[in-house]
Amino acid sequence: MTDKAKQAASSKGLLQSEDLYRYILETSVYPREPEPLNKIRDVTADHPWAMMGTAPDAGQLMAMLLRLVNAKKTIEIGVFTGYSLLLTALTIPEDGQITAIDVNRETYEIGLPIIKKAGVDHKINFIESEALSVLDQLLKDSENEGSFDYAFVDADKDNYCNYHERLMKLLKVGGIAVYDNTLWGGTVAVPEEQVPDHFRGSSRQAILDLNRSLADDPRVQLSHVALGDGITICRRIF
């Protein structure tokens, strides 16, 4: 690498310490986190898959994006106990709608009492199913084409590219798709043979493929953000 390339590739200081991450959470994120979201984190904390919940700092950016596009009609693929779902439901207007899809209703039901208590469950249409067939079903009704303002994708990584193709039809021009876990624990930048076992496999490969294909996709404006486990924001431009 040339000196110039090295300088451009060096971090501006972020992501280099746990203390800095804690500083961001304690200064800017936790004090602003709506009480019900804090409760979802609480009831999820003991779950063996708790680490799957959306990072609260990434959530804060998602709420910003939802407001910036005035999102009303949204879709979520991968609900788990409902952190990102409740965040979306709290952020969109009273007559907003979320199509929320997950293969597992049981984990959704862990967060559901909190969602109901927050008074936003009427905005949610939960569908217990694998997501791809639901997206294809939505596309059969031409009214859904180009009608969604926002999509959050946080389920099986192997299908991210398939979801993206459907979402490019379902989203409005100007609508946004957010993909989670696109830095895969940082292992996207680690040579295959040095990747720890639990990060290896088809999911990591799918993320690598997604990152490459999004970078090549002229239909979207792109921003790859090092928040949480990496989130990629795509804005449909045509």
Footprint of Ca ion on this chain (CB under 5 A)?
154, 180-181
Nearest approach, Cβ of 134 to ligand SAH (angstroms)? 8
Residue 135 is classified by DSSP as H
Residue 61 found at the interface with ligand SAH (CB under 6 A): no
**Which 200-219 positions form the footprint of ligand SAH (CB under 6 A)?**
none
Q: Which of 173, 174, 171 is CA-nearest to residue 153?
A: 171
Task: Indicate which single residue of 60, 91, 107, 187 sits in contact with ligand SAH (rule: CB under 6 A).
Answer: 107
Nearest approach, Cβ of 163 to ligand SAH (angstroms)? 9
**Distances in Å between the alpha carbon of 71 and those of 32, 62, 122, 148, 221?**
20, 11, 16, 8, 18
Residue 85 class from Cβ within 10 Å (0-12 exposed, 13-18 middle, 19+ buried)?
A: buried
- The one-letter amino acid at 119: G
**Terminal Cα distance for the chain, rounded:** 36
Adjacent-strand bridge partners of 150? 74, 176
Task: Indicate which single residue of 56, 62, 63, 84 sits in contact with ligand SAH (rule: CB under 6 A).
Answer: 84
Nearer to Ca ion, 123 or 157 (CB): 157
Residue 33 found at the interface with ligand SAH (CB under 6 A): no
- Partner whose binding site includes residue 225, from Ca ion, ligand SAH, none (CB under 5 to 8 Å by kind): none
- The one-letter amino acid at 207: I
* Residues in touch with ligand SAH (CB under 6 A): 52-54, 77-81, 83-84, 101-104, 107, 130-131, 154-156
